[in-house]
C-alpha cells in the first residue's frame, strides 16, 4: 500500500500488461460494456501498467473518484446501479499512516468526493461530474489482514443516465469458470509507466488463483498500480458480455508488477443486499441476499448463554445435528459419560476436534476458557455458535463448508485469528488431478494414473490433494521429464500451463492435453507419441511441439 502525501488515502500497487489475447477481441468486449469512470488513486495508488487506452465510450461503467476539482483521480470505481459506485473501502478513509484504518476510521466527507464518467478526467465536462450523497463502508474493513473487507459504496446524489451498470459475478460455479478461462480485464484511471493518472486504461491479463474472498490477477509486469484501487476485474460471463468479478484492493507486493489482489463481489454480497442504492442495479437484492449465511440452526444469545456441554448431553430433545456433535465429541474425549466428557473438555484451553464430521457447534458454546480450537475437516457451515468464546485467540477451520467469509466479527475485532477460512471444501476447483488424487487416497485408482498423481504431488511439494491442486493450478511451467509417465489425464484441467516438458516418458496418448489452451511449448522428445493430431488446434494457435 502507498499513501499520497497529505491525502493519507491508502492504496495498493497495481499494474497490468495484456496477455496474448487479440486486441480485436478486447476492443469487441470493450464496446459491449458501457463506459464509466474507473477510480484512480493518489499518485501512490494503483495504476494500469502495460495496458491500452480505452476507446471513447468504452467501459462506460468504470468511473474515476477524485477530491473536489482536483485534476487527478485518487481511486477507481464501477457503477453497480445508476446511483451506486462500488470501490475499495480504503479509498474513502483518511489515515495518519499507511496501515491505520478500519471501519471506524475517519472518512472523506461525501461533499468532498466527486465521481467522473468518461475516458479522461481532465477532459470531463460538468455534465459528467457527479456528487456523492453518502458513503457506505463495509463494517468489517480492517488494515490487518491487509485488505480485509475492502469495500465501499459511493451513493450518488443523482442517477447516471445513459450508462448501464455492471452485473456482478456471485455464483461459485461462475467464479470457478472464470478461473478455468484464466483471464480477467483490469481497468483504471491510475498511473502508467510514463504518465500521471487521469486517463482510462485497460489490460487483459492472467487470473492466477481463487479463494472464497479474493482472486490474484496479473503478475510478470501485468498489473495495476497507483490510482487503480477500486477498479473492476471483469470476466466474460455471457457471449459478448463482461461481468464484475471483483475490485482491485492491493498489490501482491509493494512494487507494481507482481500482481493485483482483487476482492470478490460475492464476499460482499450479503452486506450489499442491505443497501437501498443497489435496488435498481442489474444484480437483484434477492440475489445478493442469497449469500447471507442462513445454513444450519442459528441459536439466540440467550440459548448459548445458558449452554453447557453437560446439560446438552443430558437433554433428550436436542436438535439432531446437536446430538450428533455431542456423540462425536464424547468419542473424541474417549468416554460414554456426560460428566466425564465435560470435565475433560474443561481441562485445557487447547481443543482439537478435527475430522469428527461436526455440523452443530452449540455444544462448545459454554467452553469460554478456550484459547485455541481446531475444527479442521468437519462439515461445519456456521460458526456463529462460537461467538460466546471471548477468550479464543486461534481458530482452525480448513476443510469445512463455511460460506460466510467474515464470521465472528466481534471476536475478530478483539484479535481472534481464523485460519483456513479460504480453504473450504465447496470452493475447491474440482480438477481431474484432484479427483484422481482423492481416488488414490481411497485406493481406487489404477497404477499408471497413480504414478502420474504421485509425480504431481512431488512437484507441488505436498501430500495433500487440495493443497497440491491449488499450487498446480497456478503453475505456468511443469517439468515431468523422465518420470516414467504413461498417462497424462491428470493434467487436463491445468489450463494455466504455458510450458510442459514430457520428454523421456513412455507416453503414447496426448489427447488429454488438448484442453491446455495457453500452452506455448511442449517437449515430447524420446516418448512413444506418434499422433499429435489431437493438438492441431493448439498448434494453429502457436503451440510449438518438440519431437
**Cell output for 405:** 467469509
Give mean pLDDT, residues 384-408. Answer: 89
CATH architecture of structural domain 432-546: Alpha-Beta Horseshoe (3.80)
Give mean pLDDT, residues 211-233. Answer: 79
DSSP states of 182-212: TEEEEEESS--SSS-S-B-EEEEEEEEEE-S
Topology match between the domains 2-268 and 301-427: no
DSSP states of 460-493: TT-S-HHHHHHHHHT-SEEE-TTS-----GGGTT
Provide the CATH number for the domain formed by 2-268 in this structure: 2.40.10.10
Flag whether pLDDT at 288 surpasses 60. Answer: yes
**Cell output for 530:** 506418434
Q: What is the domain partition of the chain in residue ranges?
A: 2-268, 301-427, 432-546
Number of CB atoms found within 10 A of residue 137's CB: 22
- Considering only the top CATH level, what class is 301-427? alpha beta
The set of long-range contacts for 467-475, using a CB threshold of 8 Å and a minimum separation of 24, is 468/433, 468/437, 469/428, 469/429, 469/431, 469/433, 469/434, 469/437, 470/209, 470/423, 470/428, 472/431, 472/433, 473/179, 473/209, 473/429, 473/431, 474/208, 474/209
Look at 2-6, 245-249, 280-284 and tell me which has the smallest mean pLDDT: 2-6
Please state the separation of Cα 530 from the chain's center in Å: 42
Question: Which of 151, 165, 179, 164 has its CA nearest to residue 236?
Answer: 179
**Cell output for 250:** 492491493
Give mean pLDDT, residues 41-52. Answer: 46
Flag whether pLDDT at 199 surpasses 70. Answer: yes
Of the spans 99-108, 305-314, 466-475, which averages the highest pLDDT? 305-314
* Average pLDDT, rounded, for the chain: 82
Per-residue pLDDT tens digits for 521-544: 999 999 999 999 999 999 998 999
Flag whether pLDDT at 245 surpasses 90. Answer: yes
Strand order across the 544-546 sheet? 477-479, 499-501, 521-523, 544-546
Determine the pLDDT at residue 40.
Answer: 32
Q: Could you tell me the pTM of the whole model?
A: 0.65
Of the spans 244-253, 267-276, 419-428, which averages the highest pLDDT? 267-276
Position 24 confidence tier, pLDDT thresholds 50, 70, 90: very low
Give mean pLDDT, residues 7-21. Answer: 30
Per-residue pLDDT tens digits for 150-195: 999 999 999 999 999 999 999 877 887 787 788 899 999 876 555 5
Look at 36-40, 420-424, 455-459 and tell me which has the smallest mean pLDDT: 36-40
Amino acid at each position: 500500500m502507498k499513501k499520497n502525501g497529505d491525502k493519507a488515502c491508502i492504496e495498493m500497487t497495481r499494474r497490468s500488461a495484456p496477455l496474448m489475447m487479440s486486441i480485436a477481441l478486447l476492443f469487441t468486449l470493450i464496446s459491449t460494456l458501457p463506459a464509466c469512470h474507473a477510480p484512480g488513486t493518489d499518485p501512490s495508488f494503483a495504476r494500469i501498467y502495460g495496458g491500452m487506452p480505452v476507446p471513447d465510450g468504452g467501459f462506460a461503467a468504470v468511473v474515476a473518484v477524485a477530491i473536489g476539482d482536483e485534476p487527478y483521480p485518487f481511486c477507481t470505481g464501477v457503477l453497480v446501479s445508476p446511483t451506486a459506485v462500488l470501490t475499495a473501502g480504503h479509498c474513502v478513509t483518511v489515515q495518519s499512516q499507511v496501515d491505520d484504518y478500519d471501519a471506524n476510521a475517519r472518512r472523506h466527507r461525501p461533499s468532498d468526493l466527486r465521481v467522473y464518467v468518461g475516458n479522461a478526467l481532465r477532459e470531463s465536462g460538468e455534465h459528467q461530474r457527479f456528487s456523492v450523497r453518502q458513503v457506505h463502508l463495509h463494517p468489517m474493513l480492517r488494515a490487518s489482514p491487509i485488505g480485509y473487507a475492502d469495500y465501499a459504496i459511493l451513493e450518488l446524489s443523482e442517477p447516471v443516465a445513459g450508462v448501464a451498470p455492471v452485473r456482478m459475478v456471485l455464483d461459485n460455479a461462475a467464479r470457478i469458470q472464470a478461473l478455468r478461462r484464466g483471464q480477467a480485464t483490469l481497468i483504471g484511471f491510475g498511473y502508467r509507466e510514463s504518465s500521471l493518472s487521469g486517463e482510462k486504461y485497460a489490460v487483459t491479463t492472467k487470473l492466477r488463483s481463487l479463494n472464497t474472498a479474493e482472486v490474484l490477477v496479473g503478475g510478470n509486469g501485468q498489473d495495476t498500480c497507483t490510482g487503480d484501487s477500486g477498479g473492476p476485474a471483469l470476466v466474460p460471463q455471457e457471449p459478448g458480455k463482461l461481468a464484475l468479478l471483483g475490485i482491485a484492493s492491493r498489490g501482491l507486493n509493494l512494487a507494481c508488477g507482481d500482481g493485483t489482489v482483487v476482492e470478490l463481489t460475492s464476499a460482499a454480497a450479503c452486506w450489499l443486499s442491505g443497501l437501498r442504492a443497489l435496488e435498481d442495479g442489474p444484480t437483484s437484492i434477492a440475489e445478493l441476499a442469497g449469500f447471507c449465511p442462513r445454513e444450519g440452526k442459528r441459536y439466540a444469545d440467550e440459548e448459548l448463554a445458558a449452554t453447557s456441554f453437560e446439560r446438552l448431553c443430558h437433554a433428550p430433545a436436542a436438535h439432531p445435528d446437536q446430538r450428533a456433535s455431542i456423540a462425536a465429541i464424547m468419542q473424541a474425549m474417549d468416554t460414554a459419560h456426560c460428566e466425564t466428557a465435560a470435565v475433560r473438555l474443561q481441562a485445557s484451553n487447547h481443543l482439537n476436534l478435527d475430522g469428527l464430521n461436526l455440523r452443530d457447534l452449540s455444544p462448545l458454546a459454554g467452553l469460554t476458557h478456550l484459547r485455541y480450537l481446531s475444527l479442521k475437516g468437519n462439515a461445519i457451515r456456521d460458526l456463529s455458535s462460537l461467538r460466546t468464546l471471548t477468550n479464543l485467540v486461534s481458530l482452525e477451520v480448513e476443510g469445512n463448508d463455511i460460506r460466510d467469509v467474515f464470521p465472528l466479527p466481534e471476536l475478530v475485532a478483539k484479535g481472534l485469528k481464523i485460519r483456513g477460512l479460504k480453504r473450504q471444501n465447496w470452493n475447491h476447483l474440482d480438477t481431474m488431478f484432484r479427483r484422481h488424487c482423492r481416488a488414490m487416497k481411497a485406493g481406487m485408482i489404477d497404477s499408471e494414473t497413480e504414478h502420474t498423481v504421485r509425480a504431481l504431488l512431488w512437484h507441488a511439494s505436498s501430500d495433500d490433494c487440495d493443497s497440491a491442486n491449488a499450487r498446480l493450478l497456478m503453475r505456468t511451467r511443469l517439468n515431468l521429464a523422465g518420470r516414467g509417465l504413461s498417462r497424462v489425464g491428470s493434467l487436463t484441467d491445468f489450463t494455466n500451463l504455458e510450458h510442459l516438458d514430457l520428454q523421456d516418458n513412455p507416453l503414447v496418448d496426448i489427447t488429454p492435453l488438448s484442453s491446455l489452451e495457453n500452452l506455448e511449448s511442449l517437449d515430447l522428445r524420446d516418448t512413444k507419441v506418434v499422433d499429435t493430431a489431437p493438438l492441431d488446434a493448439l498448434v494453429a494457435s502457436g503451440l510449438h511441439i518438440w519431437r
